[in-house]
Structure 1
Amino acid sequence: MVDVAAADEETAMAFQEAITARWATATADRTTREPGQPGVRLRCYVDLRQTLDSQEQKTS
């Protein structure tokens, strides 16, 4: 699981997109805000066991 704290939703989603390119990821479709706290939070679940080799094999 990866918890992301970012200044804004665009930044949090860009981070999620970047890790999705490398690892199998259950993505989140929205961020959350905590009242009185700056920024946004995003939680996604990442399968760290996927190797970069398997990404290359899937696209071949």
Structure 2
Amino acid sequence: MRPINDAHVAEPGLAVVEVAAADDATAFAVQELLVTRCAIAPADRTTREAGEPGVRLRFFLDLRQDVTIE
């Protein structure tokens, strides 16, 4: 994965979330759980690291925005 950009964590309330999971379905399920709680820039694909088990999913989270799902 690429290094984390300073802009992604430049202010309190911004975060980079990286999920390591056994498979794509699990990684995307974790992302979906967070979508219901806060604003995120969702990822649309996972990555695999050579020699590492499972998959990784990185997305960006903004706790400063109120998310209301009706």
TM-score for both structures, normalised by structure 1: 0.82
> Which consecutive residues of structure 2, in runs of 5 or more, have no partner in the other structure?
1-15
Answering whether residue 30 of structure 2 is matched by residue 55 of structure 1, we say no
Runs of 4+ in 1 over 3 A off after TM superposition: none
The whole-number CA distance in structure 2 between the counterparts of 1:48 and 1:38 is 30
The alignment of Structure 1 onto Structure 2 pairs a total of residues equal to: 55
Identity %: 58
The two structures, once aligned, show a CA RMSD in angstroms of 1.4
Q: Secondary structure at the match of 1:50?
A: coil
Answering whether residue 41 of structure 2 is matched by residue 26 of structure 1, we say yes
> Which residue is 1:39 aligned to?
54
> Which consecutive residues of structure 1, in runs of 5 or more, have no partner in the other structure?
none
Instruction: Pick the structure with more helix per residue.
Output: 1
1:6-47, CA deviations, whole angstroms, 9 ceiling, x for partnerless residues? 111100000001100110010000000001110000000000
Largest Rg, 1 or 2: 1
